[in-house]
C-alpha cells in the first residue's frame, strides 16, 4: 500500500459529528440511519444515547452568534416563499433576527424533549458525505433518497406558526471546526475507537 501524503490524511480519515434528534429516535429510525451511514462506506467510531439538558444544547448551538441566529431567521422566512400569507401576518414579525431568536428557543426545547443518539463518523470527506446523506435542512426541500427527504415533510412556516422546531430527524456538522467542537462537547474524554472495517481495503485502498 502506498504511503499517504500527510496533507491527505485529514481528508481520508476525516471525522464528523452526527446526532439523531428526538423525533428520529422516537420514530424508530436509528437503525436505518446508521445503516445508511455505514452502507455509504463511512465508519462509526463512537456512539451513545443520552437525554441532553438545556445547558448542553445551549453549548451545541452558537446562540450568541448574530450571523447564525439571523441565518435561522432567513430559513424561517424562506418557508413563506410562494405562499399567500406573509410571515408578518402569521408570526408577528418579518425581522430575521427576531425570528432567529424565536427559533433558537424552540430548538433547545426540541433537542431536550427526548433522548438523542450521538455519533462520531469517520471516512473520506465524512463531513460533506454525512450532510449529503442527511439532505437539505428544510425537509420539504430535501431530495428523495436522503434521510430527511425520505422520512420528513416539515416546513418552517408550519413549525414557526405552531411555535415548535422543524422536525428534521438529524444534525450533521457543517465544517471541520464545527465537527471538532461538537465531538469535544458531546464526547469529551470518552474513547473514540480505531478499528479496521471489513472491506475497508476494497473501498479505500489499491488491492490489485
Which of 38-47, 67-76, 145-154, 167-176 bottoms out in mean pLDDT, i.e. has the lowest?
67-76
Q: Which residues are catalytic?
A: 171
pLDDT digits 0-9 by tens, 65-119: 888 899 888 888 887 887 888 888 888 888 888 888 888 888 999 999 999 999 9
- What pTM was estimated for this model as a whole? 0.88
Looking at residue 108, what is its pLDDT? 92
DSSP the chain: -PPPPGGGHHHHTEEEEEEE-HHHHHTT-HHHHHHHHHHTT-EEEEEEEE---HHHHHHHTTTT-HHHHHHHHHHHHHTTTT-SS-HHHHHS---HHHHHHHHHHHHHHHHTSS-EEEEEEEETTHHHHHHHHH--SSGGGSPBTBHHHHH----HHHHHHTTS-----EEE-SSHHHHHHHHHHHHTTS-----PPTTHHHHHS---
Q: What is the mean pLDDT of residues 140-162?
A: 91
Q: Domains in the chain and their CATH numbers?
A: 8-188 (3.30.70.141)
Amino acid at each position: 500500500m502506498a504511503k499517504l501524503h500527510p496533507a491527505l490524511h485529514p481528508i481520508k480519515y476525516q471525522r464528523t459529528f452526527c446526532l439523531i434528534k428526538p423525533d428520529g429516535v422516537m420514530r424508530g429510525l436509528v437503525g436505518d440511519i446508521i445503516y445508511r451511514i455505514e452502507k455509504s462506506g463511512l465508519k462509526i467510531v463512537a456512539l451513545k444515547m443520552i437525554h441532553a439538558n438545556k445547558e448542553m444544547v445551549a453549548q451545541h448551538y452558537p446562540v450568541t452568534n448574530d450571523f447564525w441566529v439571523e441565518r435561522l431567521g432567513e430559513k424561517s422566512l424562506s418557508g413563506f416563499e410562494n405562499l399567500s400569507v406573509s410571515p408578518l401576518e402569521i408570526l408577528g414579525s418579518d425581522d430575521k433576527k427576531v425570528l432567529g431568536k424565536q427559533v433558537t428557543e424552540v430548538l433547545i426545547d426540541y433537542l431536550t424533549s427526548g433522548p438523542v443518539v450521538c455519533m462520531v463518523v469517520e471516512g473520506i470527506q465524512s463531513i460533506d458525505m454525512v450532510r449529503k446523506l442527511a439532505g437539505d435542512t428544510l425537509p420539504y426541500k430535501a431530495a428523495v433518497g436522503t434521510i430527511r427527504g425520505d422520512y420528513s415533510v416539515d416546513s418552517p412556516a408550519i413549525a414557526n406558526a405552531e411555535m415548535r422546531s422543524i422536525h428534521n430527524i438529524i444534525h450533521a456538522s457543517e465544517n471541520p471546526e464545527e465537527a471538532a467542537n461538537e465531538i469535544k462537547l458531546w464526547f469529551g474524554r470518552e474513547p473514540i475507537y480505531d478499528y479496521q472495517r471489513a472491506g475497508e481495503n476494497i473501498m479505500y485502498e489499491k488491492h490489485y
